[in-house]
Amino acid sequence: MMVLSFNSCNVMIRSVARRSKVPALYSSSFKGPRPIHKEFTVEKATQEKKELLDVASWPTWSTQGSEKYKVGIKSPLKVYDTNELSYIISGKMEIIPQETNIPILVQPGDFVTFPGETTFKIITFIIINIIIIIIIIIIIVVIVVIIIIIIIIIIIFFIIIMINFIIFVIFTALLLLY
């Protein structure tokens, strides 16, 4: 059995499901949407395979706003009673097969084959995106702080030069008066 559990951002997916277990569906000569493997599989999609499977015509769905797939929370167990092939358009998720309990990262451009009669947990990731954004913000803040420190050092240096110049002018004027 396999288990799907989402942990979540906005994952955009195109999916097709086939109840038939007819071996011809797995054949590369069969045109149109169909499962491409008999077991759970994640693989990068090629342009040729996307065209052969007519991915552009598949229905699209999203985890955004779904009560079932909230950010940071594993989805309930999902049992597949059909053979389903999904193409990930955007977002990231982990799929945890119940048999192995080993998370598999799925990203944009991946085909995911869910064989019939399997159960999964899916964890969708905004967390990865949030961590990247936080790191970028920290880097920007550090750069801004460094720039501010450099500006302060330049201002202090300029003030010291001006004070020395004023002292020089005063002493020169005093020397010329005596």
pLDDT value, residue 124: 53
Confirm whether 72 is domain-assigned. yes
Instruction: Give pLDDT tens digits along the chain (178 positions).
Output: 444 544 444 566 666 655 444 444 444 554 556 667 777 888 999 998 888 888 888 888 777 777 766 666 666 666 666 677 888 888 888 777 777 778 888 888 998 887 766 555 555 554 555 667 788 999 999 999 999 999 999 999 999 999 999 999 999 998 888 7
C-alpha neighbours within 13 Å on the C-beta side of residue 66: 21
pLDDT value, residue 81: 62
Say which residue the tokens 């059909």 belong to: 82
pLDDT value, residue 150: 97
Give yes or no: residues 58 and 143 share one domain.
Answer: no
Give yes or no: residues 43 and 58 share one domain.
Answer: yes
Query: Sign of torsion, CA 122 94 70 14?
Result: negative
Angle, alpha carbons 62-63-64 (nearest 5°):
90
Confirm whether 119 is domain-assigned. yes
Domain range enclosing 136:
131-178
pLDDT value, residue 118: 57
Number of domains in the chain: 2
pLDDT value, residue 122: 56
Give yes or no: residues 44 and 120 share one domain.
Answer: yes
Question: Is this prediction's pTM over 0.85?
Answer: no
Give yes or no: residues 161 and 79 share one domain.
Answer: no
- Across the beta sheet with 110-114, what order do the strands follow? 41-44, 110-114, 83-90, 12-18, 60-62
Confirm whether 3 is domain-assigned. no
Give yes or no: residues 70 and 20 share one domain.
Answer: yes
Give yes or no: residues 83 and 140 share one domain.
Answer: no
